Chain A
Amino acid sequence: MSETTFRLEIVTPSRQLVSEGVEEVTAPGIQGEFGVLVGHTPYLVELGIGELMYRVGNEKRHLAVRRGFAEVTRDKVTILAEEAEFPAEIDLATAEKLLAEAEEEMKALSVSGESKEYLEAQAKIDRALNQVAVARKHKS
């Protein structure tokens, strides 16, 4: 391994998606996006929902991730996501349908802000929105 690369592992409860040497990672932390280059200080962060990018040489690859956490050590980054998908794996039509459904659900709810149903509907919207955004942006 040369000096500019470090190991990236992305795992979910059901599979391992990535295990390779990369040069850069940016990921959505719960308090904002963070970027990692080689030699980063040990860091443990909760992940939010959004897009994860990693770069191998000049090639950038993207993933939609949702919830989990990341462990950063000097020569390795481990992403433990509850859900992670490559754009190619996302079915755009299904995701758009889910988004529309979730939005309908949200509209049907009364305005009470912090109820359980409200939060659930919000989570559904966030999830679908993230899938749609990542798929649209990177699917060719």
Chain B
Amino acid sequence: MANLKDIKTRISSVTSTQQITSAMKMVSAARFRKAEEAITNNRPYSDKMLDVLTSLALRTKEDAHPLLERREQKKVGLVIFTSDRGLCGSFNGSILRSVDRFLNEKAGSYESISLYIVGKKGLEYYKKRPVEKFGQMTELFGNVTYGQAHEIGEDISNRYAEGELDLVYMVYNEFRSALTQVVVYDRLLPVEPPKVDPDTVTTEYIYEPDEEHMLNWVIPRYVDVRIYRAFLESTASEHGARMTAMESATTNASEMIDRLTLQYNRARQESITSELMDIVNGVESMK
């Protein structure tokens, strides 16, 4: 049986770990609420953007903009969203596993597959692996701005327009609830205008400047908004995953403390018993 001092040291170390995990859980819970709110706040903008795009798409030809153009799909780009920080359960693992599977399975069907990596964890993972990379962005720490989404959007849109990429997917953890996140492959380019029933009555707008100009303006913005949205989803998922992971770590720690305390008490009892025995024996022998 381990001696008393050892057990005591272990109890105190587990206790301080538990303090950290439960503090992290609290922080994540607060950030998670903020991230969830950001998704809600973004919804009116995204929805309206889609409405306008739909009404523009009805009136314009399919090849009216380079980002709408469909080509033979040879060069594929994946934008993968991982986190900067760890300790968030299977959040990064499930993304990276899924991307690895994609790379293995689809390597034959495309000419090339290259990655745009968001987040430190993804970058570290692919540092030692032979993959093509066409961009990266780290040190976001959950403070995503629309400007950053725009930066990525501009880069990717330019590559697409120049024919460097023929098909672009975003790979991120879609936020379902604090407990569930699902890895999704969301096609970013070519932009697919939403299918509309030709009979739907749409508003006839006066455009200023003209329709073509509006389309040129709206489509790149729509790409930015999609990326921004993926950022928000991914951030909410990250905090949700961390919250869950820290919750179970805290529970595990308290179970461990219970077990160790029991062990400690048993050991203490044992030593008292044996000391008593010694005394009794000593007294007996003096008689």
Chain A interface (Cβ < 8 Å from any Cβ of B) = 9, 11-16, 29-31, 34, 41-46, 69, 71, 73, 78, 80, 82
Give the docked Cα–Cα distance between A43 and B214 (Å).
12
Q: Are A9 and B206 in contact (CB under 8 A)?
A: no
Q: Choose the segment among B18-26, B41-49, B184-192 that binds chain A (4+ C-beta atoms closer than 8 Å).
A: B41-49
Query: What mask results when residues 203 to 216 of chain B are scored 1 for a CB within 8 Å of chain A, else 0?
Result: 11111110001100
Q: Are A80 and B45 in contact (CB under 8 A)?
A: yes
Q: Are B206 and A16 in contact (CB under 8 A)?
A: no
Which A-B residue pairs are the 4 nearest by beta carbons?
A: A44-B205, A13-B146, A45-B208, A15-B41
Q: Please give, as numbers and ranges, the residues of chain B lying within 8 Å of A73 by CB-CB distance.
A: 203
Q: Please give, as numbers and ranges, the residues of chain B lying within 8 Å of A69 by CB-CB distance.
A: 52, 214, 217-218
In whole Å, how far is A74's beta carbon from the nearest beta carbon of chain B?
Answer: 9
Number of interface residues of B (CB under 8 A): 25
Q: Please give, as numbers and ranges, the residues of chain A lying within 8 Å of B45 by CB-CB distance.
A: 11-13, 80
In whole Å, how far is A49's beta carbon from the nearest beta carbon of chain B?
Answer: 14
User: What's the dominant secondary structure at chain B's contact region?
Assistant: helix
Q: Please give, as numbers and ranges, the residues of chain A lying within 8 Å of B38 by CB-CB distance.
A: 14
Give the docked Cα–Cα distance between A119 and B206 (Å).
30
Q: Please give, as numbers and ranges, the residues of chain A lying within 8 Å of B57 by CB-CB distance.
A: none
Give the docked Cα–Cα distance between A16 and B47 (Å).
12
Residue of A nearest to B55 (CB): A44
Residue of A nearest to B211 (CB): A44
Q: Are A42 and B204 in contact (CB under 8 A)?
A: yes
Report if A78-B208 is in contact (Cβ < 8 Å); known contacts: A42-B203, A69-B218: no
Q: Please give, as numbers and ranges, the residues of chain A lying within 8 Å of B208 by CB-CB distance.
A: 29-31, 34, 43-46
Interface centre among A30, A69, A73 (most CB of B within 10 A): A69
Determine which of B42, B209, B218, B228 lies in contact with A30 in the assembled complex, contact meaning CB atoms within 8 Å: B209
Report if A11-B209 is in contact (Cβ < 8 Å); known contacts: A44-B214, A69-B218: no
Assess whether B225 is interfacial by the CB under 8 Å rule.
yes
Q: Are B52 and A71 in contact (CB under 8 A)?
A: yes
Q: Are B52 and A44 in contact (CB under 8 A)?
A: yes
Q: Are B42 and A43 in contact (CB under 8 A)?
A: no
Q: Are A13 and B228 in contact (CB under 8 A)?
A: yes
Given contacts A12-B45, A43-B206, A80-B45, 12 further A-B contacts (CB under 8 A): A14-B41, A14-B42, A14-B145, A15-B41, A16-B44, A31-B208, A42-B205, A43-B205, A44-B208, A46-B209, A71-B52, A80-B48
Q: Please give, as numbers and ranges, the residues of chain B lying within 8 Å of A12 by CB-CB distance.
A: 45, 146
Residue of B nearest to A12 (CB): B45
In whole Å, how far is B49's beta carbon from the nearest beta carbon of chain A?
Answer: 7
In whole Å, how far is A133's beta carbon from the nearest beta carbon of chain B?
Answer: 22
Interface centre among A9, A30, A44 (most CB of B within 10 A): A44
Interface centre among A14, A29, A43 (most CB of B within 10 A): A14
Give the docked Cα–Cα distance between A78 and B52 (Å).
11
Give the docked Cα–Cα distance between A43 and B204 (Å).
8
Q: Are A11 and B48 in contact (CB under 8 A)?
A: yes
Interface centre among A11, A13, A82 (most CB of B within 10 A): A13
In whole Å, how far is A121's beta carbon from the nearest beta carbon of chain B?
Answer: 16
B128-148 contacts to A (CB < 8 Å): 145-146
Residue of B nearest to A79 (CB): B48
